Amino acid sequence: MSKKATRRAARQAFPKAKTPPPSRNTYGTRPRKPATTKGAGASRSLTRPGNRPPSVKRAVTWAFMMAVIYFVLIEWAWKSGATMLGNFIISAIGFVLFAAVVYLVDWVKFRRYQNKQKGSFK
């Protein structure tokens, strides 16, 4: 008996139960599967940016990266004619402003998330 014939005989001897079609909700769409926490990236996919409390460390990190990019741009890409110290001072001012804005945006997003969890919309 060949391998193919053996498998066919096994399928006929032990037939599978037919699975019912997926149920549909009132709007005719399939229900969503619940999110699972399997795997390394699953916890990140369940974490929305609005539900993390604001953090000074995160704001300073973003501001530092942007200040470095801004310094490189005004020093070499945009020929302003200013000295390196002048460009550094402008980047430092941008660092302070950007850190404040990032922290403020994170704070507003976190407050909105908290208000939505309570059920009130302000």
pLDDT in tens, 1-34: 788 888 888 888 887 766 666 666 666 666 566 6
Structural domain count, the chain: 1
Encoded amino acid at 2, one letter: S
Claim: this prediction has a pTM higher than 0.85? no
pLDDT category at 70 given cuts 50, 70, 90 is very high
Flag whether 103 is in a domain: yes
Range of the domain at 87: 64-122
Encoded amino acid at 63, one letter: A
For residues 29-56, give the mean pLDDT: 64
Distance CA 120, CA 90 (A): 42
Contact predicate 99/63, CB 8 Å: yes
Flag whether 111 is in a domain: yes
Average pLDDT score, the chain: 81
Residue 39: per-residue pLDDT: 54
Contact predicate 15/21, CB 8 Å: no
Flag whether 73 is in a domain: yes
Contact predicate 56/103, CB 8 Å: yes
Distance CA 73, CA 87 (A): 10
Flag whether 112 is in a domain: yes
For residues 70-89, give the mean pLDDT: 87
Q: Which of 23-32, 46-55, 72-81, 99-108 has the highest mean pLDDT?
A: 99-108
Flag whether 86 is in a domain: yes
